[in-house]
Amino acid sequence: MALTSDRATVRRRGTVAVIDLPGQIDISAEATLNDAYKEAERVSTTILLNFAGVDYINSQGIALIVGLLARARKDKRAIEACALSDHYREIFEVTRLSDFMKLFESEDTAVAREGGTR
C-alpha cells in the first residue's frame, strides 16, 4: 500500500482524471477533496477516486463522497473508485454507494476498462 498522505493529487491517465486520495477520509479531508474534485473536473468527465493510500473512512467521509457523487450526477460526470480495501468495499456495498459508482480492483483495471492508455 502507498504511504498515507494528508493531501490529494490529481493526475490525468488516458481519458480519466485520477484523484489520489489522502490517507484519511473524514471531515478533515473536506477542503482537500473539494479542491481536488474541482481540479479533476477540468481534466476529464470521468473521475477515478484512487483509494490505494486510504486507511480510514468514516461516516463523515461517506457523506463527502455522497456530496461529490451528487455534484457529478448533476454535471453528467461519472465518478468511479478503485483500490478499496475489502472492508471499505463492503461499506460501499452496505451504503449502496456501489450502485452509483463503479468499483475497480486497481487503478490499472479501471483505466484498462475505460480504454485509456498511458
Partner 1 sequence: MLSLTRTLRWVRGRRPEPSAASDSDIARVVSRAVRYAPEAEPIDIAPNDPLLAYLASAPGPVATLDLDLDSPAVAELRRTGVRLIVPLVSQGELIGMLNLGPRLSDQEYSRDDRALLDKLATQTAPALRVAQLVREQQAEILVREQLEQEMRVAQLIQQQFLPKETPRLPGWQVAAFYRAARQVGGDFYDFIELPEKHIGLVIGDVTGHGVPAALVMATTRSFLRADAPRLVSPGAVLARVNDLLHGDIPPNMFVTCLFAVLDPATGRIRYANAGHDLPYVRTAQGVVELRATGMPLGLMANMTYEEKDAVVGPGESLLLHSDGLAEAHSRDREMFGFPRLRRLVAENPGGQALIDLLLTTLHRFTGPAWEQEDDITLVTLTRSAGVSEDAVVDEFSVTSEQGNERIAMDRVAKAAAGLGLSAKRLERLKTAVAEAAMNAIEHGNQGRAELPVTVRVETADGELRVSITDRGGGREIPIATTPDLEAKLAGLQKPRGWGLFLIKKMVDDMRVTSDERHHTVELVVKLKEATDGADE
Q: Which residues bind partner 1 (CB under 8 A)?
A: 26-28, 56, 58-60, 62-64, 66-67, 69-70, 73-74, 86-87, 90-91, 94-97, 99-100
Instruction: Say if residues 16 and 48 touch (Cβ distance below 8 Å).
Output: yes
Shortest spacing between CB 71 and partner 1, in angstroms: 9
- Nearest approach, Cβ of 65 to partner 1 (angstroms)? 8
Between 58 and 109, name the residue whose CB sits nearer to partner 1: 58
* Beta carbon nearer to partner 1, 26 or 41: 26
Closer Cβ to partner 1, 43 or 97, answer by number: 97
